A = this chain, B = another copy of it.
Amino acid sequence: MLSKSQISLLTSLQHKKFRQQSGLFLVEGYKSIIEFVNSPYRIQTIYHTPGIASKLLNLSRKINFQEISTAELQKISTLKNPADAIAAVYIPQWAGFSDADLKNKHSLVLDGVQDPGNMGTIIRTADWFGITNIICSEDTVDAYNPKVVQATMGSLARMNISYTDLKEFLRSADLPVYGALLNGESIYDVDFGKEALIVMGNEGNGIRPDIQQLIQHPVTIPRVGGAESLNVAIATAIFCAKLAAKSFQ
């Protein structure tokens, strides 16, 4: 049975302030939780309903777990229809990307992405295409927001994410900087090379002017029809597909 203080801690993790205070975030559903168990993430506790107890006995490493009732799960879940388990997982503590982390690969840079669904979809899509580094502006939505975690469908467990001052980061990065902008080179013609940073912007406003100035290679997805813009997760996916095309040539 969950104590009052456990319920209070777990429900507080829906808010960024309390995630930062406790260093914990929530992962819901056995299928997603397992991705974190099979990753370097440290699991604090898995709270699970009786139905999946036997599955947890066979985990590849020793994890704290606690059986709770469906009614208790409902209390601490962020979902309308909670699945079977919820885990409190430690937010990784690290100093951000070193030059070596970024060498010989493509990394995404997000300037002010706001929507949790978009952020989650970007992480899931990047994971599909083998991109594992995402550098975010400080005002980008928190990747440990429960809605983001949910939308990544476990892919967050394989992603390195850092929040930083993008202007400073891009200025000191020793890599070519590409960005999704209007009036750039067509994405069909771009060669991203073997290492690059790819900057994507905010849903409504795109990339901030002072960040735009640091983009050496503006890239455009050519428009054929009438839509005014593309959703940022959609645009990111098309960039990722193009980046991954290299691996198949």
Contact = CB atoms under 8 A, between A and B. Distances in A.
A223 interface: yes
A128 B233 contact: no
Interface in A221-245: 221-231, 233-234, 237-238, 241-242, 244-245
Interface stretch (A90-98, A152-160, A166-174): A152-160
Contacts of A43: none
A131 interface: yes
Nearest to A239: B241
Contacts of A227: 124-125, 127-128, 153-155
Nearest to A157: B226
Contacts of A231: 121, 124-125
Contacts of A230: 124-125, 128, 237
Interface residues of A, number: 40
A186 B222 CA distance: 22
A226 B121 contact: no
A138 B188 CA distance: 35
Contact of A130 (B158, B224, B238): B224
Contacts of A242: 248
B244 A241 contact: no
B222 A248 contact: yes
Contacts of A153: 227-229
A27 to B, nearest CB: 15
Contacts of A229: 128, 153
A70 to B, nearest CB: 22
Interface centre among A117, A124, A126, A248 (most CB of B within 10 A): A248
Interface in A17-56: none
A248 B189 CA distance: 8
A65 interface: no
A249 interface: yes
B249 A245 contact: yes
Nearest to A188: B245
A81 interface: no
Interface string A123-142: 01111111110000000000
Contacts of A213: none
Contacts of A5: none
A74 to B, nearest CB: 23
5 shortest interchain CB distances as A-B pairs: A130-B224, A130-B225, A128-B227, A127-B227, A234-B237
